[in-house]
Amino acid sequence: MVIPMLNPLVYSLRNKEVKSAFMKLESLTGGMFAWSPDLNQSGPTEFVFRVFTTVPELQALLFLLFLLLYLMILCGNTAIIWAVRAHSSLRTPMYFFLSNLSFLEICYTSVVVPLMLSNILGAQKPIPLAGCGAQMFFFVTLGSTDCFLLAVMAYDRYVAIRHPLHYALIMTQKLCVQMVVCALGLALFLSLQLTSLIFTLPFCGHRREINHFLSDVPPGLRLACADTRVHQAVLYVVGILVLTVPFLLICVSAILRIRSAEGRRRAFSTCSSHLAVVLLQYGFCALVCLRPQSSSSVDEDRQFALVYTFITPLLNPLIYTLRNKDVKGALRKAISSKGTAEAL
């Protein structure tokens, strides 16, 4: 499914001969396909992000709120990484994936939040085209890896529930590393194709305002002064690969492949918190990326983006620590041992 879908993207969208053939087809059909606009139009040199509010009191309140959420995300996910690395009892495939997920959440939010905080408290600072493209590339890469890794974690729980006696033989350290590397590699490939495709579009004017707090794909498409139907179709394809396919794999591996009622009850009990994170992450990302532009609202997209920028990374350490006896025990031992060392 993936390779046949990627072939036309790789061999057409990045191929000059094929693109020139589409341009000729457009001229013959009277602009029906509208592949390329007037490329002589000068593109922008910088972007600015629209602020949430211009009221100073509300700006200070939003700055403190988002800063507090960001610090909680950093502290919670760092605590998970530290606990997994420091205690040998947590060096299992599940906690290996969990520590990688926490690292991704730290990087994921750090790509967006510092610039967002500076824009809230200060004036609208212009961002060069390369900086805007870099933020989109890293945001899409880390977000896609996050989605793939959630599917990998669901497969790990499926093996643990379905094949408990062979779990250690199946989920070897080599396989776990390969699955994480494959998730990152696929996310890098898709993100590179999508970002390069978006930023080959012409943008009108010298400075354009992005009605968002980050350089996301849908706001970038809205700023283009060209026909973006092909680019929107590519966004749908990437969205299906990143969101729909992993979500279906999670549903199948976590619940549907377990036939007995007792097994499904155990699966729901074990994976309920994981499924809650999955629904938040995939659901709100799908609302932003997979809705037609005609039915989407810019303000709604910003609100949905706040969920997967702040809420989901904050819920991960809460769900996987407060409801996990092993992690809580490891954190207690670490805190108690540190207190004993200081007392000595």
Q: Give the C-alpha separation, 131 to 143, whole Å.
A: 18
- The number of residues in the chain equals 344
Quote the pLDDT of residue 272: 64
| Residue 297 main-chain phi, psi, to 5 deg | -115, 140
Query: Is residue 154 packed enough to be buried (19+ CB in 10 Å), middle (13-18) or exposed (0-12)?
Result: buried
Residues (pLDDT < 50) of the chain are: 28-44
> What is the number of other CB atoms lying within 10 angstroms of the CB of residue 185?
12
Quote the pLDDT of residue 184: 94
Helix axes 298-306, 261-289, angle to 10 degrees: 140
Quote the pLDDT of residue 29: 42
- Locus of tokens 């609208």: 124
Please report which helix (H) or strand (E) contains residue 47, including its range: strand 46-49
Quote the pLDDT of residue 207: 63
Q: Hey, what's the torsion of the CAs at 276, 280, 282, 288, to 10 degrees?
A: 170
Residue 208's nearest CA partner among 63, 46, 324, 91 is: 46
CATH, range 127-326: 1.20.1070.10
Quote the pLDDT of residue 208: 76
CB 153 within 8 A of CB 270: no
> How confident is the model over 142-194, as pLDDT tens digits?
989 988 998 888 888 888 877 888 988 999 999 999 999 999 999 999 999 88
Residue 255's nearest CA partner among 243, 265, 242 is: 265
DSSP label at 299?
Answer: H
| Residue 208 main-chain phi, psi, to 5 deg | -115, 140
Residue 192's nearest CA partner among 234, 253, 236, 154 is: 234
Quote the pLDDT of residue 86: 81
pTM, two decimals, is 0.76
Quote the pLDDT of residue 39: 39
Q: Give the C-alpha separation, 336 to 330, whole Å.
A: 10
CB 137 within 8 A of CB 191: yes
The 207-210 sheet, strands edge to edge: 127-128, 46-49, 207-210
